[in-house]
Chains A and B, each alone.
Chain A
Amino acid sequence: MTNSDVPAAEDAVPTAVEEPALIHGVPSSLSRGQLVVHVDRDTYIQVVTALRDDGYRFCSDLTAVDYLLAADRLLPAGVTPERFEVSVALLSMEDGKRIRVRAQVPEANPTLPTLFELFPGTEAMEREVYDMFGVVFEGHPDLTRILMPDDWEGHPLRKDYPVGRIPVQFKEAPGPR
């Protein structure tokens, strides 16, 4: 964190592309000192289950990123970048450690198994990701839109979803969508 050792900072710049250490058989990396493991759809459940059994019993966050406009991001060797990435932040309360699971989700078939059985608290978070990104969580008990109206078209946080307007009462004619 400190800037005292300036020469060392240069080596530390490409943090995410150092030789990947394997955690539960999948590549890991350090992102600004935070431990990240990279999984794909097939290893997702298995790795998260293993991590939970390692003591990461609290799922603090589950969200997604649409890498449509930043496809050439830093990833360790052996990870195939896909358009969507679901990022799960797990927490081990015993040793106060965090780990992040970044799951690659292909654009063509954006599905991922649900974490609901492992962490029931991900229910609302997965609904939000479905609502905002259109990533379908297989096995989720109630995968409906949560923030947008039920009849909304499109998934607003996708990068190809433009910022636009909808007609509202008591205003001038609506602008371009």
Chain B
Amino acid sequence: MTDLTADTDEGAQEIKLRSQTSDEVRALEQGAVLRGVSHEDVDVELTDDQTMIINMGPQHPSTHGVLRLMLELDGETVLRCKPVVGYLHTGMEKTGEDLTYLQGPTNVTRMDYASPITNELVFAMAVEQLLELEVPERAQWIRMLMSELQRMASHLLFLATNGMDLGAISMMIYGFRDRESVLAFFEKVTGLRMNHNYVRPGGVAADLPDGWRDDVLAVCDALPPRLDEYDELLTGQPIWRERTQGIGVITTEQALALSASGPILRSTGLPWDLRRSMPYLHYNEVEFDVVVGSYGDVFDRYAIRLNEVRESIRIVRQIVDRMPPGDYRVQDKKVTPPPRARIDESMEALIHHFKIFTEGFKVPEGEVYVAVESPRGEIGCYLVSDGSAKPYRLHIRAPSFVNLQTLPHLMRGGLVADAVAIISSVDPIMGEVDR
């Protein structure tokens, strides 16, 4: 007989019994905004035999992977909550130091596996900023097209899982169906449904295939009626509203203090979207609305994502109209391999190709922090170069990792059933939390 408790013990990372936790520590646990501020909010009169500490996860369908929550419950009410993460940690930032800048996207794309294009984009933009490289127009518009389609796919996946978590099982099937229509386009462009390695330093891996306009417009035409259907299925439905409205409320000040970004921050009414506030690529040239909520609850976060799909469709239509001709990657021999056809006829091209893919290209010494708006919030890349062909340090500021800190705060005083809704509304992707 092995001792399961000892086997699975995470030591100091765990939540302790009420009797072993001082008031100060409990005050600190109450969501970080309240930490260290006042102790009066701590329910001191409860004792250990009135409450129970249970583990939710790491293997639990509603935890979206391997998120483990330690909950202290008084009956059905959540008193304390502590997320324990790290079960999916594979040292991707360490791995990134061993890969050349050209191989880098294959690594970062696997962090946020529900939104790989965004990861590749932020990495590529960081490398380009270190190289002080200007990317061709067409490459930038292709990147925009792909990241907006990615946002649609990611939010549709959110609608699917959020629906499933709250008992709307049909929504799960619809959501996955629609996401698949976007992924089918990705497969056509990049060869893969996920983890594309498509956005690379210097541009994108390949030009858009023939007939891409029709494919994109077919997706854009098919989705809006379906989104209206989901509105009918969920948004206006009394059960859905009962389950989501007024649950897991957060204010703007709290969200800002906790460094939360993305739909969580926007649900509090603050229109902060990097695409609008600090535009990159050509987002300042397209029209779209930043969707905000007003109550900061689960319903707002759901509605924001649903409507962001509509906004993304709007952006994609404009991109389709305005896609310029030209190069899809920079014609800088330093970072771009020669065209395939040249390799057959030119020895120099072959050598060049070989050197780029074995040694990589050198990036001048320096460090940058670049951030873009991922479907989950601000994804940042802190990249340090020592002048060699591999990053000296690669750090991804993962929005899910930071947003998870809001959980103890959102959960407090809610019901266990609401806990499921709240986890779902934060939309964490554990691959990027643990990296």
Contact = CB atoms under 8 A, between A and B. Distances in A.
B257 A121 contact: yes
Interface stretch (B224-232, B342-350, B359-367): B359-367
Interface string A116-146: 1101111111001000100000000110111
B44 interface: no
Nearest to A70: B386
Interface residues of A, number: 53
Interface residues on B, range: 35 or more
Chain B interface mostly helix, strand, loop or mixed? mixed
B28 interface: yes
B85 A144 contact: no
11 contacts: A61-B369, A63-B395, A66-B393, A89-B397, A93-B272, A124-B404, A125-B259, A141-B35, A146-B86, A147-B435, A150-B11
B13 interface: yes
B205 to A, nearest CB: 23
B278 interface: yes
Given A146-B13, A148-B86, 14 more contacts: A31-B368, A59-B259, A61-B382, A65-B367, A87-B382, A89-B397, A93-B272, A144-B11, A144-B12, A145-B12, A147-B89, A149-B86, A150-B11, A151-B11
A2 B272 CA distance: 29
Interface stretch (B52-60, B67-75, B126-134, B141-149): B126-134
B132 A74 contact: no
Contacts of B93: 132, 157
A42 to B, nearest CB: 23
Contacts of A163: 94, 98
Given A31-B366, A34-B368, A124-B405, A1 B132 contact: yes
A142 B28 CA distance: 9
A44 B21 CA distance: 32
A132 to B, nearest CB: 8
Contacts of A144: 11-13
Contacts of A60: 259, 261, 371, 378, 380, 397
B28 A141 contact: yes
Interface in A41-75: 57-61, 63, 65-66, 69-70, 73-74
